[in-house]
């Protein structure tokens, strides 16, 4: 089936008890047992819930995986995947990642005896240099947040296979509509469903997708043992949102391409980061492994004062954390989403105080460009 057909139908047959076309939200904590151990596969909603099951089936199909598991946020999902690591293990993480991901690996997992190396994973040599005998996992974002750097999923997966390592890919920025890391050899895909999958800035969620029975059993165990599950209502909202994912992503992509081209023509803009631009260092790789370039655009201006004056003038782009909703947002990563990364680490990675990140929404492109034009004057 095509992507949109699956997005609308996969896992979502009409409800057999009522013939309701839209599956109901199963707001129940627990389930009646006819006698001890005799039930319909549902015992307690932390362990399993029918609405969550439908969402999990739907996203597994879209990500070309066998299994999906839904968590209460993207970070809860990343935490669950990090449990493949044990005391004494080493993990390699992309140096440019969402600030909360950095914080989880650098300031939380290290307390549990896990060693972390942050490297620029766009360069395979960097990865090969830091692999050690205790390395277990490589975790990448591609494109990265906020610098939109692209790592070669297939090539990194080949390294992982030859060294017996697991590869997890944060696919939040691309969504399954534009990129399917499992098909490129990744073992685990993670989403902050809060972003494009949700698409309307009204929920928090996270999803893991895998093919391996063993990883599925592990993460299902963690989902139940830790309990950071997605609520039935939010599962239902996500199912509703995913039906329009393809349409939204097309428009995000189209608008962001126009915005990136416009920014590149502006003299106050020092540099534009967007994988769809020919000037992007991994533009060719992006064309190879992605089917679109997404809705995120970052750009750099002189300094913090210039950033401040631009942010104050913007009217349609709303100053806020998060991304991936239908409305356009603007963010200053250094003081907002990436503030948990020490300044010297940020700057070494190229994330300066002059960087502005746009989540380009699906409004009329003329209005978005006019807003940027008056703010950059």
> Which residues are identified as catalytic?
46, 98, 170, 195
Tell me the H-state helices in 175-244.
175-178, 213-226, 232-242
Which residue, 103 or 163, has its beta carbon nearer to ligand P1T? 103
Rounded to an integer, what distance in angstroms lies between the CA atom of residue 77 and that of residue 230?
A: 10
Which phi and psi angles does 295 have, rounded to 5°? -110, 10
Residue 31's region, left for phi above 0, alpha for psi from -120 to 50, else beta, is beta
Interface residues with ligand P1T (CB under 6 A) are 73-75, 98, 100-101, 141, 145, 170, 172, 192, 194, 204, 206, 321-323, 337
Residue pair 28/51 in contact (Cβ under 8 Å)? The answer is: no
Rounded to an integer, what distance in angstroms lies between the CA atom of residue 30 and that of residue 48?
A: 10
Q: Which residue is nearest to ligand P1T (CB)?
A: 74
Minimum CB separation of residue 267 from ligand P1T in Å reads 28
Minimum CB separation of residue 98 from ligand P1T in Å reads 4
Q: Pull the structure tokens for residue 295.
A: 């809705």
What own/partner pairs with CB < 8 Å and gap ≥ 24 does 313-316 have? 313/374, 313/375, 314/371, 314/372, 314/375, 315/371, 315/374, 316/363, 316/367, 316/368, 316/371
Which residue, 74 or 181, has its beta carbon nearer to ligand P1T? 74
Which residue, 44 or 108, has its beta carbon nearer to ligand P1T? 108
Minimum CB separation of residue 5 from ligand P1T in Å reads 27
Per DSSP bridges, beta strands 318-319 and 329-331 are parallel
Which residue, 106 or 322, has its beta carbon nearer to ligand P1T? 322
Minimum CB separation of residue 335 from ligand P1T in Å reads 12
Cα–Cα distance list, 99 to 104, 107, 131, 168 (Å): 9, 11, 23, 17
Which residue, 145 or 282, has its beta carbon nearer to ligand P1T? 145
Minimum CB separation of residue 172 from ligand P1T in Å reads 4
């Amino acid at each position: 089936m095509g992507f949109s057909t699956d997005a609308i139908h996969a896992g979502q047959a009409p409800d057999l008890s009522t013939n309701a076309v839209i599956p109901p939200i199963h707001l129940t904590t627990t389930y009646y047992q006819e006698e001890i151990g005799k039930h319909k596969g549902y015992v307690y909603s932390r362990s399993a819930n029918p609405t969550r099951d439908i969402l999990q089936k739907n996203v597994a199909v879209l990500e070309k995986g066998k299994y999906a598991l839904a968590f209460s946020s993207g970070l809860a999902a990343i935490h669950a995947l990090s449990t493949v690591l044990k005391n004494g293990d080493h993990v390699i993480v992309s140096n440019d990642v969402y600030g909360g991901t950095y914080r989880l690996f650098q300031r939380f997992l290290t307390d549990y005896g896990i060693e972390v190396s942050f490297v620029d994973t766009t360069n395979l040599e960097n990865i090969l240099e830091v692999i050690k005998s205790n390395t277990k996992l490589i975790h990448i974002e591609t494109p990265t947040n906020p610098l939109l750097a692209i790592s070669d999923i297939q090539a990194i997966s080949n390294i992982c296979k030859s060294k017996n390592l697991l590869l997890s890919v944060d696919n939040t920025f691309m969504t399954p509509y534009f990129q399917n890391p499992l098909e490129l050899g990744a073992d685990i895909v993670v989403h902050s469903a809060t972003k494009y999958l949700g698409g309307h800035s009204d929920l928090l969620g996270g999803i893991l997708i895998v093919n391996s029975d063993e990883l599925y059993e592990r993460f299902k165990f963690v989902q139940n043992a830790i309990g950071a599950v997605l609520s039935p209502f939010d599962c239902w909202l996500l199912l509703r949102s995913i039906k329009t994912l393809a349409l939204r992503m097309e428009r995000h992509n189209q608008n962001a391409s126009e915005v990136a081209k416009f920014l590149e023509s502006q003299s106050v803009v020092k540099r534009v980061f967007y994988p769809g631009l020919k000037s992007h260092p991994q533009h060719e790789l992006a064309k190879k492994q992605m089917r679109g370039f997404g809705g995120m655009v970052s750009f750099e201006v002189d300094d913090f004062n210039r950033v401040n004056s631009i942010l104050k003038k913007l009217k349609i782009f709303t100053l806020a954390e998060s991304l991936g909703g239908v409305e356009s947002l603007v963010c200053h990563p250094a003081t907002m989403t990436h503030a948990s990364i020490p300044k010297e680490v940020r700057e070494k990675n190229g994330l300066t105080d002059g960087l502005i990140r746009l989540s380009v929404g699906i409004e009329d492109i003329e209005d978005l460009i006019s807003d940027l034009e008056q703010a950059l004057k």
